[in-house]
Structure 1
């Protein structure tokens, strides 16, 4: 399957990206306007296209020196298992050019990310807006 990666944020349909995130599925519904702010404020972002169709995306925050964090890697279900997610992750890792890269993943996906060298951290912590819901979803202990 032929697909292309692009970092061109100006050509993105934010409604299409919101739909992709919902179908992937990547947690709760995301509003297109909020997704646009998140992606525009991220130092690194990449989008995968099959022809003109948006089929995957990912973004990362980075200080450009020591640390980066990858978020929101999503691929449409019918395109999963075709190497698109791997290309997105590899692009973000290579573009980050830092010593430590953290990854925020959906519960149950850890094994997938281990192939890129990611390992579970013993020291990561988070403040969540709804602790009870986050606990139910397996995001926090």
Structure 2
């Protein structure tokens, strides 16, 4: 595969986000429309997206108060492009931008992904919790 990946801080289109999230079943889990997903991206403190030509192949974002805390979320790379450092580069750019503002970067992930994030410089430090009523 020819790797001419372009990274940008522009928010992807609603169709692009929805399509990428659909590869992982996130749309079924989140139960949000294309417009709502796009709104979440637009309202993020920072977004980094990766493109192969015009195709969105990866994205991640930071939600933040802009003063103290920054939460990395929504990191996703299309299955055809995984294992090529794209997710690592998205994380690197988001963390660097957050560090420039002296923000404390944190994230929540499944246990299976802790090794991935540890390789990117994160440490396990707390137990994550979620509102179980949301799953009803």
Structure 2 length-normalised TM: 0.83
The equivalent of 1:17 in structure 2 is 17
Task: Please tell me whether residue 8 in structure 1 is matched to residue 18 in structure 2.
Answer: no
Q: Is the 8 A contact 2:68 2:103 kept in 1?
A: yes
The equivalent of 2:114 in structure 1 is 110
Deviating more after overlay: 93-102 vs 73-82: 93-102
What is the aligned length? Answer: 130
Gaps of 5+ in 2: none
Runs of 4+ in 1 over 6 A off after TM superposition: none
Gaps of 5+ in 1: 134-141
Q: Is the 8 A contact 1:62 1:96 kept in 2?
A: no
1:56, CA displacement in angstroms? 0.5
Task: Please tell me whether residue 130 in structure 1 is matched to residue 96 in structure 2.
Answer: no
Q: Is the 8 A contact 2:45 2:62 kept in 1?
A: yes
1:77, CA displacement in angstroms? 0.1
Alignment of 1:1-141 (within 5 A): 1-9=3-11, 12-26=12-26, 28=29, 30-97=32-99, 98-122=102-126, 124-130=128-134
1:63, CA displacement in angstroms? 2.4
Q: CA RMSD in A?
A: 2.1
1:94, CA displacement in angstroms? 0.5
SS at 2:91 equivalent = helix
Structure 1 length-normalised TM: 0.80
